[in-house]
Structure 1
């Protein structure tokens, strides 16, 4: 995944975490009002905090995005490192062959057998409105020790950094 330095420097930590985690659970709202999530591979986070994905033109998520004022949530999680990111934003579908060519990678062929020219292939771009992240700075052993200490003392552990960032 390619990420670019952010125009909003507060998003740089979000960019670092997204780059490392890469797979997001994208949540939309279906026609019955239910929250629906599915894994999506982030392809790029550009300098404006926009995250790019490939999708199929006929995917239900495309209709869900159009029917819900384009609001989505992206949840990234690396449980092993205790790093988590939640991004609220707006999504739009885009049929831009130049951008498809820029972002194309060999793994995408599994979902788009006709390659970059697959007529089903379009882009989803998610503009970051707000992001919140949790980033553990200590090793797993230190985190476990902090949790055990907290259980004994009754004082919540300090498990790293947490911040909200508005774009």
Structure 2
């Protein structure tokens, strides 16, 4: 598969699967949780509260792993694997640009003082499980 095809398929999976798994590391142990992800030019963003364990974990160790896709259909059910560095972003301009109304279920509006976004800058992105194909890596 050519790089443009790999990139297109990865973007389709990311855009069609907002819910994914974010894994962090604390004391050399992995911790995973389901999160909602937004994609802006292959940078992932997920909203959270600054009062969570994951924000503390990321501040200590910025290495993260994200899985998006996989619908449980079995063999050939593609998904995307992202390894990257995360930072906590609290700038209001970014929050305003990423805000969507369903976030009112967790936050008191986009001016909630605890609302932050975890920004994941990919170091590697792989398309996985494509009907017997080898994993396809995206050149970044």
Q: Does 1:34 align with 2:29?
A: yes
Aligned residues: 134
**2:93 maps to what in 1?**
98
The 1-side partners of 2:10 and 2:99 are apart by: 23
Q: Which runs of 5+ in 1 are unaligned?
A: 1-7, 137-157
Moved over 4 A (4+): none
SS in 2 for 1:118: coil
Larger Rg: 1
**1:56 maps to what in 2?**
49
**2:139 maps to what in 1?**
166
Q: Which runs of 5+ in 2 are unaligned?
A: none
- Bigger share in strand: 2
- TM-score scaled by structure 1? 0.73
For the 8 Å contact 2:65–2:84, the answer to whether it is kept is: yes
**1:79 maps to what in 2?**
72
SS in 1 for 2:110: helix
**2:40 maps to what in 1?**
46
Aligned ranges 1:134-149 → 2 under 5 Å: 134=128, 136=130
- Bigger share in helix: 1
**Which protein has greater RCO, CA pairs closer than 8 Å, 6+ apart?**
2
Shift of 1:132: 1.2
